[in-house]
Amino acid sequence: MFNQNRIYRVFQLINYLKARPAKSIKNITRFLNTSERTVYRYLDMLSDLGFTIEKDGTNRIWITCNHDTLPFTEQESDYLEKLIRSSGKRVKLADSVLQKIHQRSEVNVASKLVFNAHLSLIIEQISLAIIQGRQLLIRNYSSANSQTVTDRIVEPMCFTDNYDSLSAFEIKSKQNKYFNIERMGSVEVLDRKVQYENLHKFYKPDLFGYQGNQVDKEIELDMSLRAYLMMKEEFPMSTHFINKNPDTDRYHLKCKVQSFQAPGRFVMGFAEDIKILGSKEFIRHIKRIVRNNF
């Protein structure tokens, strides 16, 4: 059973680290309910499987993969199947993995598909809460703003385009916010009707996910290929505002946003790959970050 639990834990860690924002070792330790030493051991294992362990400027971690699937030989897949079946339980994750094991002799266990199935369940539960007009508990939400992993109780309103985020009224802060679906650990529909419907407001978020009725702050960046790829991965809507410079092989972003917080953190994480252009207000924001943290 120990080996089986470890396999499930590896899948959980893959999903957790593929969902932005980047995580600290402390957050990973709390998520897995284990020691830092064990976390580093799992990270070494992911590296051996072909994942690239990335770190930002504050040593927070995320992973990328050199291929979409995890390759297993016939012998390894047979062993994996026996471990999964040994639990005697029929759970969706086990069924999903077993289905992929039987797809071909040189087996690929697609962690990406497992992750998508997890997100589908979350979206289904959120939809139920919206339809029934009930409050929703979001467990283990990874906040890019506060860099924390906490539970949130919200009153869900609607999804954004492509079901990337949930627009919801947060009970504790009494604020309308956006919650990235991929950053949710799980959700639970509560047996409580919405209580603050008169305070619900929906504003279309900017490309960094911040909502409000004043998209009036301008940013302009010159980025390397590395920074561009990470920008596109973390903030997919940014691709509509980015142009490639054919003469320098760099990428130019110019847009207006609700807040400097998210672009500021991104710039600080890739300081060597980004040049700030344009807005003096954004430059002053970056200088304040540097002054307060270094």
User: What domains can be seen in the chain, in order of their start residue?
Assistant: 2-105 (1.10.10.10), 115-199 (2.30.30.180), 217-293 (no CATH)
Query: By three-state DSSP, how is residue 47 classified?
Result: helix
pLDDT of 115 > 90? The answer is no
Which residue(s) pair with 277 in the sheet?
A: 220
How open is the CA angle 53-164-242, to the nearest 5 degrees? Answer: 70
Stretch 231-246: mean pLDDT: 84
More confident residue, 78 or 180: 180
Tokens 């994750």 found at: 93
Percentage of the chain lying above the pLDDT 70 cut? 73
Q: Are 187 and 125 in contact (CB under 8 A)?
A: yes
Pairing of strands 165-170, 175-180: antiparallel
The highest-confidence range among 6-15, 165-174, 285-294, by mean pLDDT, is 165-174
Nearest of 164, 171, 145, 174 to residue 258 by alpha carbon: 145
Residue 111 carries which DSSP code?
H
* Exposed e or buried b per residue across 123-146, where buried means at least 16 C-beta atoms within 10 angstroms of its C-beta: bebbeebbeeebbbbbebbbebee
Q: Are 155 and 171 in contact (CB under 8 A)?
A: yes
Residue 198 carries which DSSP code?
G
pLDDT of residue 215: 76
Q: Compute the half-sphere exposure of residue 124: CA atoms within 13 Å on the CB side of its CA.
A: 6
For the record, the structure tokens of 259 come out as: 């807040």
Backbone angles phi, psi at 74, to 5 degrees: -60, -40
pTM value is 0.45
More confident residue, 80 or 180: 180
Query: By three-state DSSP, how is residue 217 classified?
Result: strand
Stretch 74-78: mean pLDDT: 55
The per-residue pLDDT of the chain, averaged, comes to 78
Confidence class for position 192, pLDDT limits 50, 70, 90: very high
Distances (CA, A) of 283 to 70, 251, 254, 261, 294: 42, 19, 14, 12, 16
pLDDT of residue 106: 35
pLDDT, tens digit, 9 for 90 and up, residues 133-155: 899 999 989 886 677 889 999 99
Question: What letter represents residue 153's amino acid?
Answer: I
pLDDT of residue 99: 56
For the record, the structure tokens of 135 come out as: 């409050």
Stretch 26-35: mean pLDDT: 83
Backbone angles phi, psi at 19, to 5 degrees: -85, 125
Query: By three-state DSSP, how is residue 145 classified?
Result: coil
Nearest of 247, 240, 286, 231 to residue 264 by alpha carbon: 286
Backbone angles phi, psi at 200, to 5 degrees: -70, 130
For the record, the structure tokens of 18 come out as: 């593929």
pLDDT of residue 73: 52
pLDDT of 24 > 80? The answer is yes
Q: Are 203 and 216 in contact (CB under 8 A)?
A: no
